[in-house]
Chain A
Amino acid sequence: MKLVIAIVQDDLVNRVTRSLMEKKHGVTKLSSTGGFLKTGNTTLLIGAEDEKTDEIIEIIRKECKDEGNIVGEKGASDSYANIFVLNMDEFKKI
């Protein structure tokens, strides 16, 4: 199991969460603030089986760069999304 932490620009979050939901990936949204430019962004927590991790990253990549035309303008910070993938010891759904 992996925990995918994705810090995404605010104007891309709805697109990303919608397409993640379509693929049956549960997403938890935390509102967060960028440290450097103090701009608002959103942190997504996504639990994923090991083999699904690449699919999730591709979904986020696709939503950020929607077929060439840049969706959300890069705005002040120079990245659309920062993704951390961590190994998860146990995952429980109660």
Chain B
Amino acid sequence: MKLIIAIVQDQDIPSLIDDLTEEEFRVTRLASTGGFLRSGNTTILMGVPEERMQEALKIIGDNCQTREITTSLLTVSMPGDTYIPYPLEVQVGGAVLFILDIEQYIRI
């Protein structure tokens, strides 16, 4: 059995948790903060039997892929001027996974 500790961006969490619970994976979520950008993210703990590892990794991959999204940066040049949306390519998503061996798993 493996323990997956996944550090995931907050905006990917809802879809990820739904997909995981649909496939009967049990997940525990911890609120955490990124060290580098000090942005909030979420750490999830998952006990996964060996034979289901590929499935779990695929679900996590599908939901947390690093991807480009276009957001707009509203720029106001002069007062009374209209907001001019300025398209901006921003990279979001991405997950860090620590996978450890579980020696014992006990459920009470």
Contact = CB atoms under 8 A, between A and B. Distances in A.
B108 A35 contact: no
A61 interface: yes
Interface string A65-94: 100000000000001111111110000000
A86 B105 contact: no
B90 interface: no
A73 to B, nearest CB: 14
B45 to A, nearest CB: 7
Interface residues of A, number: 27
Interface residues on B, range: 20 to 34
B30 A30 contact: yes
Contacts of B104: 53, 57, 83-85
The prevalent SS among residues of A at the interface is strand
Interface stretch (B19-27, B51-59, B67-75, B76-84): B19-27
Contacts of B45: 5, 7, 32, 43, 84
A34 interface: yes
B44 to A, nearest CB: 7
A33 interface: yes
Given A32-B28, A35-B26, A41-B28, A86 B108 contact: no
B20 A86 contact: no
25 contacts: A7-B45, A30-B30, A32-B29, A34-B28, A35-B20, A35-B25, A35-B29, A35-B44, A36-B27, A41-B28, A43-B30, A57-B106, A60-B108, A61-B106, A65-B108, A81-B107, A81-B108, A82-B108, A83-B105, A83-B107, A84-B105, A85-B102, A85-B104, A86-B3, A86-B101
